Amino acid sequence: MLLEGLRITILFLIIPMLLGCGMAKIIHVYEKPSFSGILFRYVVGQIMMWAVFELIGVPLIYMKRSFRSAVVIWCICILIIVVLEIVYIVWRRKKESCETGQEPMDAGILVLALIAFGLIGLQCYQYVFRMHLDKDDSRYIVNAVEAYENDQMLVNNPATGDAYTYEQSSSVAKDTASPWMIYTALMAELVGIHPTILAHTILPVILLGMSYMIFWLIGEALFGAGIFEKLFFVIFIAWINMFFCNTTHTQSTVTLVRIWQGKAVVAAVAIPMLLYTLLLLYHARGEASNGRIYILLTVVSLGSCLLSGMGIFFAGIMTGVYGLWYVIVSRRWKELVGVCVACIPTLIYGMIYAGLL
């Protein structure tokens, strides 16, 4: 149990933070340490981990390589990126003086923070201590369990366990383009916990946490430094999520009920993150760092592609619509190149999804 706890800490906390620190430095966002900066780094780090897996996982699945080989290659890639980023941070730090941004704290803030934690905690409690049965897991979770137990990726029809036949190849193409459940298996492998347990208990807490972290950042993008507004914003997000559940189809329902599934991660994490990144882009218009945010936008798009077909297309649509609008507003037409680059993952993985590649 202790070992698993240590592994979870390293994989879900330390590595994303290290990855996110480097990205923050590279794109000049939240370079100074602050509460929001920590959240930003964590979220970006997680999404970088997804993006790396999307880059290496899809070709490996195509080549019918073993699951363990994907695990090893992903670990090596992440290690290399972490080392490079540490080198970059150390190099940058020598050039800069480091200031810390201290945010004010009073009793009102504490109360609101407690309310926010209480609401989010209630949602986490449901995931950790209670159980939601979802028939779609007969595809998603089973794909993860197959990789974990049989060391193969998307070879068999998850519903039966029989090898895929030719007529089922379109189904395989969709899963290949967005192998989120293989990534879940990878996490399970590295943590040493069965994918079903990981997906139903640990991942929801992490993903739900990420979702609210992103909303905090969106709050910051909308309200600036106003901490009261940001806290109210997150409280209302959490509150509305619990009530915008008239059907099983709303983004709130999938966020609170089955967040471990790729399409739900799109609704809970990817779409808010895309919105946040595009807001960052809007804020940085006319600044020198603007071009660098397109790096983040491309990484977020790539990470979205890992999640599901919706992630592939929604990333392209949101980038296209918001990106184009911001280009028009700022009248910086050369930034259209950045918007197009950020849409490349949608183009490539969309073609894979449709079975055209």
Partner 1 sequence: MLDILREEYEFFVSYSGNSLIMVLYVLSLIYIGCAGKEMRRKLLYPSLLLMFVILNPFFYTYIWKKLLDNVFWRMMWMFPVVPCIAYAAAGILGRIRRWWLRALVCVGMMAVVAVSGQFIYADNTVFVEATNYYKLPQEVVDIADRICQLDDSPRVAAPRTLYCYLRQYNQNISLMYGRNAEGYISAISDIDQRVAKEIESDTPDYDYVFMNAAYEGCNFVITYAGKVVPEEVLSTYGYVPYISMYNYVIYANTGLPDGGSEGFRVTQYGSSGKNLMMYTVEDKQGNLIVIDGGSKQRSRELLMLLDQYDRHVAAWIITNYDEKHVGAFNTILSEDNGVVIDKIYAAPINRDRYLETEDSEDNKNSVETACKILDSCPDVSWLKEGDRIDILGMSMEVLSAWDEDTDAMEDRLLEAGSLCFVLEGDTERMLFCSNITTDVERKLRDKYRDKISVTYLQAARQGKNGLVSNIQKYTEPEAVFLDAVEESFQDKDADAKDLALRDYYAMSGCRIYYYSSRPNTVILK
Residues 19-78 touching partner 1, rule: CB under 8 A, are none
Alpha carbons 14 and 19: distance in angstroms, whole number: 9
Site string for partner 1, 137-176 (x = CB under 8 A): xxx-xx--xx-xxx------xxxxxx-xxxxx--x-----
Alpha carbons 198 and 206: distance in angstroms, whole number: 11
User: Does 310 sit near partner 1 (CB under 8 A)?
Assistant: yes
Which residues in 89-128 contact partner 1 (CB under 8 A)?
Answer: 108, 122, 126
> For partner 1, which residue of 97, 246, 286, 334 counts as binding (CB under 8 A)?
246
> For partner 1, which residue of 69, 201, 291, 341 counts as binding (CB under 8 A)?
201
> For partner 1, which residue of 232, 289, 340, 355 counts as binding (CB under 8 A)?
232
SS3 assignment, position 156: strand
Q: In terms of CB distance, is 78 or 284 closer to partner 1?
A: 284
Q: Which tokens hold the place of 147?
A: 């990789």
**Helix axis angle, 290-307 relative to 15-27, nearest 10°?**
150
Which residues in 276-305 contact partner 1 (CB under 8 A)?
Answer: 278-279, 282
Among 4-12, 40-48, 64-72, 229-237, which window interacts with partner 1 (CB under 8 A)? Answer: 229-237
Alpha carbons 82 and 133: distance in angstroms, whole number: 37
Amino acid identity for residue 325 in this structure: W
Alpha carbons 20 and 182: distance in angstroms, whole number: 23
User: Does 339 sit near partner 1 (CB under 8 A)?
Assistant: no
Q: In terms of CB distance, is 146 or 335 closer to partner 1?
A: 146
User: Does 130 sit near partner 1 (CB under 8 A)?
Assistant: yes
Which residues in 249-268 contact partner 1 (CB under 8 A)?
Answer: 249-253, 256-257, 263, 266-267
User: Does 9 sit near partner 1 (CB under 8 A)?
Assistant: no
> For partner 1, which residue of 10, 86, 228, 287 counts as binding (CB under 8 A)?
228
Query: What distances in angstroms separate CA 190 from CA 7, 12, 17, 61, one per listed residue?
Result: 7, 11, 17, 19
DSSP string for 154-217: S-B-TTT-SBPPGGGHHHHHHHHH--HHHHHHHHHHHHTS-HHHIIIIIHHHHHHHHHHHHHHH
